[in-house]
Amino acid sequence: MKHFTKIIVIALILLFSFNSLFALEKKSTVRKLIPGTVTEGKLELSVKNYETFTFQVKPDTYAVEIDLSGAPADLDMFIKYGEKIENYDDVDYAASTDSYNEKIVLTRLSEPILSDGTYFIDVAYQRDVFPAVKHRRVTAVPFKIEEKERKVNIEAVLKPSETVSGVLYPEKGMAAVYAFNIPKRTQFFRVDISDTISDIDLLVGYEKKIVTLKNYDYIGESLLGKESLIIRNSDKGFLPPGMYYITVFDQVASDYKEKFTITAGLKSLPPPALSRISNLPPPQDEQENALFATVEVIAEAGKGSGCLVSRDGYILTNWHVVKNFNEQASGNIYIAVNRSYNEPPEELFKARLVDYNPDSDLALLKIESGLYGQPLPFSIDFSYFPIGKSSSVKIGQPISILGYPGVGGTGSRASVSLTTGIVSGFETTEMGTYIKTDTEINGGSSGGAVIDVYFNLVGIPTVIIGEDSSQIGYITPVSAIPAQWYRYFTR
């Protein structure tokens, strides 16, 4: 009898062990997604708050979109390359907004870059309490997940000097690919982006359709939206003939579609249509004059704002706006002006640095040519600020700040913004006397215009102390403008 009982006990132990092993194996099951197929899942929260999936990226895949839908509760998505996820703080991609359903787009241009191989996805419920669905607590959350795979789609094979309109779509990773066939005995290949209000960049690859930030042959990358790329043989010979693939992309914005125009040609000079500069719109009143006189200044290490102070194109800005990464003056300084203050300013001009004063953090620029180095039209007439007296500025006086803060737009470039406040006080330092203000100042506002109620320029927003609602802005008053600079713009 004892022997029979022992056999039963052993059998029960084996059965329990088998069931436990099956349960453990079931919990660790990883499901593979099939491109274009909707996979249904369900989180049994009393057992486990996540489910794991995988998908495979092949060499000819350009982008992958993972869509999570149909969830009645707040689910999040986490993606990691090459291995299962152990910690949600250590993943390559995450979508954990308050939205019940999430979406992640990975491309060969995203950061981190989409790579060949296996990716692991966790769909997770991260809250501490069970969700309520139709006013009742539930322990199971159904959902649907789909992998959408995109191959490289050539939008068009460009012809020399042909202008083609294009659009960057969020669902396509804010990138579009074009092709251009370069014949034998070609010395130059030029690509220009125009008719855009976004910060667009270019990658070019020789005889490879998928061009990434790791394998490109040529790159056109700056803070300009009107990007240009001139390719020439480094040995002053001819370019290798064959098909060149051009990727047009936005590295900054990803929420809204962006229009642009692309032109490719076999000359080093820009197309004639891009070199034309039409007259600027005349202001209808003092406020519009101030808006038109506030320009965007684009240098090598960053961009900010500037103030036109003469009809012939002199600009006041901050020195830190126009210096490069080596603390020297940028070799190229571009100026964007308002044709319509409902959109980001149009990049139209190049400027030279006339003078600068690091102590007061001021710089004086002069618009010298068009964006591509072409002569300015004789009829060009810039709106400009009358310069006020900073000695008349008093504590409590209302002031306004005009500029191009990065937070002032939904895309990769922003339209002009005006913020208002008061003079909060003054502070004298080794660098001079600053005006303090509670007026909101953000990155990109530097070098802009501080104006009084009569639209006179009384200062330049220079620095912010503190964060968010507790910040104090510091303004360099116009009294800090070196006296010798006035001879340039008051003639």
pLDDT values of the chain reduced to their tens digit, one per residue, 491 residues: 444 444 443 343 333 333 333 333 334 589 999 999 999 999 999 999 999 999 999 988 989 999 999 999 999 999 999 999 999 999 999 999 888 889 999 998 888 899 999 999 999 999 999 999 888 999 999 999 999 998 888 999 999 999 999 999 888 888 999 999 999 999 999 999 999 988 899 999 999 988 888 899 999 999 898 999 999 876 667 899 999 999 999 887 777 899 999 999 999 999 998 998 888 889 999 999 999 999 999 998 889 999 999 999 999 999 999 998 888 888 899 999 988 878 899 999 999 999 999 888 999 999 999 999 999 998 889 999 999 988 888 999 999 999 998 776 666 788 899 999 999 999 888 777 888 998 888 888 899 999 999 999 999 998 878 665 567 888 899 999 999 999 888 76
Question: Residues 434, 477: contact at Cβ < 8 Å?
Answer: yes
CA distance 213 to 471: 38
Phi/psi of residue 310, nearest 5 degrees: -155, 160
Q: What's the sign of the alpha-carbon dihedral 76, 81, 82, 83?
A: negative
**CB atoms inside a 10 Å sphere around CB 413:** 30
**CB atoms inside a 10 Å sphere around CB 70:** 16
How high is the pLDDT of residue 2?
44
CA distance 256 to 400: 30
Angle at 164 between CA 159 and CA 167, to 5 degrees: 140
| Lookup: tokens for 325 | 């990464």
β-sheet with 188-194: strand ranges across? 163-168, 258-265, 188-194, 228-232
pLDDT tens profile 397-406: 999 999 998 7
| Lookup: tokens for 365 | 């620029």
How high is the pLDDT of residue 28?
56
Length of the chain: 491
CB hemisphere CA count around 268 (13 angstroms): 6
DSSP H/E element including 177: strand 175-182
CA distance 263 to 225: 14
Q: Set out the domains of the chain in order of their start, with CATH numbers.
A: 31-151 (2.60.120.380), 154-272 (2.60.120.380), 281-491 (2.40.10.120)
How high is the pLDDT of residue 466?
67
Question: Residues 448, 350: contact at Cβ < 8 Å?
Answer: no
Prediction pTM value? 0.82
Phi/psi of residue 350, nearest 5 degrees: -115, 145
How high is the pLDDT of residue 439?
85
